[in-house]
Structure 1
């Protein structure tokens, strides 16, 4: 083995040594035999055998995904809210929330709840006749979108920094930055400073969302890739549930601690995660790309490969894939994402991320307000939203089994088709003469749509994203893909607000026609362009893309274990 253990300083100075030590593998029969055996063993490993043999890999993947659980301000609130009566303003601000992974989602949700709190509105709002104290429209928009703008910057920074420092140190850096920026929000004494704090907090959120799916997909065996990457969607649900509980419990307070306590609770996540991530192993794929094979071997062993022979075979398999990809180019750059066959992979990643905003998810994220607009009483709307959140969590857990049983394309296409049907039925229910039965029918349909999304489209999107990009460009690809999500999300949030708000288009359940139409576009694009990568090693995925195999033929195309092109 070539390189030994390096100090952290040396670890940061390895940028120029990207392909050390594995240039000979394709010409070494012994190493190639190990690579063949390692890949065959991964293909033969069952889901249960992978779980039993790699519990630590599952644990570390979950910990990295948990960085997405914190709450923030981005998707909450609507420009129309200040013009509504006080009760509807509260619903509008509180419920138009977009789920984020646990840490990111916890931070993202807070501000939307703040603009609904009486103490916060009285401190920073203006008095509107007939509505009481409300936060001005421009400040609601700023609070809700500042974190997204910061995250947009963060996802672009994440790729180059991760390529330089690795997933582990980049995440530690982001957690330290997160701790520091929370101080700004916590001690903010004006809306201006709070917006600045949320924008700066958004930068590490971008690091988390870009790195989590990539790291999770690289440290687990092939059989576990689907289940572990789909955990990201569950992290969003956990973050939303935590925020709902915290803000609900403090909503009756009339002093500044009604919003400062939730802000302070943000420190719990990065502080605990800092310790865990420091103890986590680095991705062996990243270490091999840096030529640090000794460390990569130890990382493989820490992740659950106890047999020395099996660890060597896994190492050889990774080296072989890295070498094949290295022949396509040198050090990865953002421009590489739009060159050759990587352009196709980048487009698929971006479409998967962006499509999360078009297939009914925004109904799930506006649940309480949607229920209210469908004619449900305020108290019952909040009860239904709690039920909806719990059902989403259950659906997220069910996705683990779906990814093991069904193919990626099957889950995505049938999940989207199911929601298309439900969305058009929702539109029809809202178009007929309204009564109690139709009101509850719309509410139930909204819950079912949320459940389907949480069990199919949402989690499987992260799996597809993690598997589609090449190993060499994965950190860059997941970051750019997430940027596409933000680009699509911002106008869609505005559209969702317009569709539901009484001062907008006031369509209530008729918005099902709109989201059903956009979901149809997602289904058609997925049918023609989404490849099936279940049970495919990263080497096989590279070969399939390089051969320009049509998406619908990925599953049936046979790749020999000895192919290196």
Structure 2
């Protein structure tokens, strides 16, 4: 029922070069295209084309325009994620100089580094309700404004107390940003490439981390009372560009339907889909989901008149399974220790034997490059290979790297290996861990948590997942130095390796394959939806999109 892409190219005339464009490449299969990309030639005549064509000829619709538009919207919506990444990366170096300039102790270091994750809960918790009230688009703008205010206060802070006030504002802005970007992108993206586009926030987080590391290295030569302020001030620049982004990106069509603005939603769908027929089909699906969310008709989720938070706090079995998957994968993303590696990589490398600050910061730049390079690989693979295979590779690989790092640090502390070997293994295993993280659970946790929930719950359920992510991130960041002091650095990473092994079992048991499904169809995987029995029998990796007859 599907046509080889080679045959389609020849029938499409000179379109070969366009297929190489990145937005077109993302999410496409090697050999096949979707069945609804082809039309009998008589449809061309209906459009007034007249131009020839025999009765049985097949025409392939151009997809570059809509894909490029969705690609651009996804990039602009992800700019806030650079802020989170930059803050994480730059703080690993800033803390060395803040400690000397403001004379803060170890506990204050842990609070300063780890509090951002807890503070960002406020943004994530209120972000769901805010995005339902004012829209996904303007919530993205609000996140940038709040972060800018926080970064400015931190840059000018004369004391630890004022620095913490800036940290509070920046954390709230980041909480808004990390919650809303995956939701917005999932709601405008076509099913066949939703995984690739929804991974964009994660690659921008990694890009921000890399920029933070480079900033540390570039400005470390300045005086101690200036260098960390310059490092933090540079983080304001990405948020300024969001003002332009708001002029370009549309509102989410699903949010517009929820507000009764179907005509505006249709106009957006015409921009993000390949054809008018596809736009009509997607609009009908969204309207059906929205109608189900606002009526009291019988369904598999009980009373439809309950508030969102009532339904999330006392969930039906279907919603409970979704919450276990969405919140669980967010927790495992963080409790495997990624933020400990990123925030405290200089501490880890110092323990392995690297002596000077410049060498420590240079080693962290290498970590940043690995993290960014492999998230780019994940974006290419996520819709080709699927979510679950990449999660298996990621969690198993991280478990191995964390165990090896723990063993290397243990032997190094006892003099069983040379200093050079210990440093080499430490750098290799840290880079390996962030690479496996970035190719799997790093981006995929955001993809899964933004696509598994039904429309009426999506923004606030995604916010709940973001809260779980930030709580576990903060717990790791604020306790890592204390845990290392209690059981050693090698002991801390042995614990992370054990938790990572549990994440493999979690993926196997609770995470379904969602690649190629529309958001409205994914609900059936958890036992919801009207045609759930039929859809659950369909292997998700076999097709890119269901063909409606």
TM-score (normalizing by structure 1): 0.76
Preserved contact between residue 154 and residue 163 of structure 2 (Cα < 8 Å): yes
Cα shift at 1:512: 4.1
Contact 2:116 2:474 (C-alpha < 8 Å) held by counterparts: no
Matching of residue 343 in structure 1 with residue 315 in structure 2: no
Instruction: Call closer, same or farther: CA 1:439–1:245 in 2, change over 3 Å.
Output: closer
Q: Against the structure 1 CA distance between its residues 260 and 438, is the aligned structure 2 distance closer, same or farther, given a 3 Å change threshold?
A: closer
Whether contact under 8 Å (2:111, 2:478) holds in the other structure is no
Residues 63 and 273 in structure 1, CA contact (< 8 A), matched pair in contact too: yes
The answer on whether the counterparts of 2:394 and 2:437 sit within 8 Å (CA) in structure 1 is yes
Distance 1:446 1:246, change over 3 A: closer
SS in 2 for 1:253: coil
The aligned residue for residue 150 of structure 1 is 119
Q: Deviations over 1:229-270 (max 9, x none)?
A: 112221111111222222322222226432333333333222
State the Cα distance separating 1:519 from its structure 2 match: 0.9
Distance, in Å, in 2 between the alignment partners of 1:477 and 1:113 is 34
Which among 273, 292, 314 is matched to residue 282 of structure 2?
314
Q: Number of paired residues? A: 473
Seen in structure 2, the aligned counterparts of structure 1 residues 297 and 262 have a Cα distance that, compared at 3 Å, is same
1:546 aligns with 2:524: no
Name the counterpart of 1:487: 471
1:357 aligns with 2:324: no
- SS of residue matched to 1:505: helix
- Structure 2 equivalent of residue 22 of structure 1: none
Residues 259-289 of structure 1, C-alpha deviation per residue, up to 9 Å, x if partnerless?
3333333332222202212431001111111
After superposition, the Cα gap between the structure-2 partners of 1:414 and 1:111, relative to the gap in structure 1 and judged at 3 Å, is closer
C-alpha displacement of 1:176: 2.6
Corresponding residue SS for 1:535: coil
**Preserved CA contact (<8 Å) 2:256 2:262:** yes
| Superposed displacement of residue 220, structure 1 | 1.1
Using the TM superposition, give the Cα deviation of residue 394 of structure 1 relative to its aligned residue in structure 2, in angstroms: 1.0
Deviation at 1:429, TM superposition (A): 4.1
CA contact (8 A) 2:153 2:163 kept: yes
Using the TM superposition, give the Cα deviation of residue 523 of structure 1 relative to its aligned residue in structure 2, in angstroms. 1.4
Structure 1 equivalent of residue 160 of structure 2: 191
Q: Deviations over 1:315-354 (max 9, x none)?
A: 2232233334444524852222242122221221111111
**Of 68, 72, 89, which residue of structure 2 is paired with 1:59?**
72
Over 3 Å counting, the alpha-carbon distance change for 1:179 and 1:422 in structure 2 is: closer
Task: Return 522-531 or 251-260, whichever deviates more.
Answer: 251-260
The farther-off stretch of 327-336 and 168-177 is 327-336
> In the TM superposition, what are the counterparts of 1:63-462 in structure 2 within 5 Å?
63-68=76-81, 102-117=82-97, 120-125=98-103, 135-254=104-223, 256-303=225-272, 305=274, 307-327=275-295, 329-330=304-305, 333-338=308-313, 339-340=315-316, 341-362=318-339, 364-365=341-342, 366-378=344-356, 380-432=359-411, 433-435=416-418, 436-462=420-446
Distance in 2 between residues matched to 1:174 and 1:431, nearest whole Å: 43
- Structure 2 match to 1:505: 487
Change (3 A) 1:124 1:368: closer
Distance of 2:354 and 2:137 partners within structure 1: 47
Cα deviation, residue 45, structure 1: 5.9
Structure 1 Cα separation of the partners of residues 279 and 539 of structure 2: 30
Matches of 1:289 and 1:358, distance apart in 2: 36
| Distance apart, 1:495 and its partner CA | 4.6
Q: How many angstroms apart in 1 are the aligned matches of 2:276 and 2:368?
A: 45
Unaligned runs of 5+ in 1: 1-40, 69-101, 126-134
SS of residue in 2 equivalent to 1:54: helix
Shift of 1:380: 4.7
Match of 2:45 in 1: none
Distance 2:383 2:92 in 1: 36
Distance 1:369 1:278, change over 3 A: same
Q: Which segment is superposed worse, 516-525 or 373-382?
A: 373-382
C-alpha distance in 2 between matches for 1:49 and 1:417: 40
Distance in 2 of aligned mates of 1:562 and 1:301:
19
**1:508-534 C-alpha deviation (Å, 9 max, x unpaired):** 3x5443222101211112211111111
Q: Tell me the secondary structure at the aligned position of residue 531 of structure 1.
A: coil
Shift of 1:147: 2.5
Q: 1:527 aligns with which of 508, 523, 531?
A: 508
- TM-score by length of structure 2 reads 0.78
Q: Tell me if structure 2 keeps the 8 A contact 1:376–1:440.
A: no
**Whole-angstrom CA distance in 1 between matches of 2:308 and 2:138:** 20
What is the aligned partner in structure 1 of residue 57 from structure 2? none
Instruction: Describe the shift of the 1:373–1:482 C-alpha distance in structure 2 as closer, same or farther (beyond 3 A).
Output: same
Q: Secondary structure at the match of 2:78?
A: helix
Tell me, in whole angstroms, the C-alpha distance in 2 between the residues paired with 1:187 and 1:524. 47
Report the 3-state secondary structure (helix = DSSP H, G, I; strand = E; otherwise coil) of the residue aligned with 1:472: coil
Cα distance in 2, alignment partners of residues 481 and 290 from structure 1? 24
SS at match of 2:157: coil
Contact conserved, 1:532 with 1:554, CA < 8 A, in 2?
A: no
- What is the CA distance between 1:313 and its match in structure 2? 2.8
Residues 66 and 235 in structure 1, CA contact (< 8 A), matched pair in contact too: yes
Q: CA RMSD in A?
A: 3.1
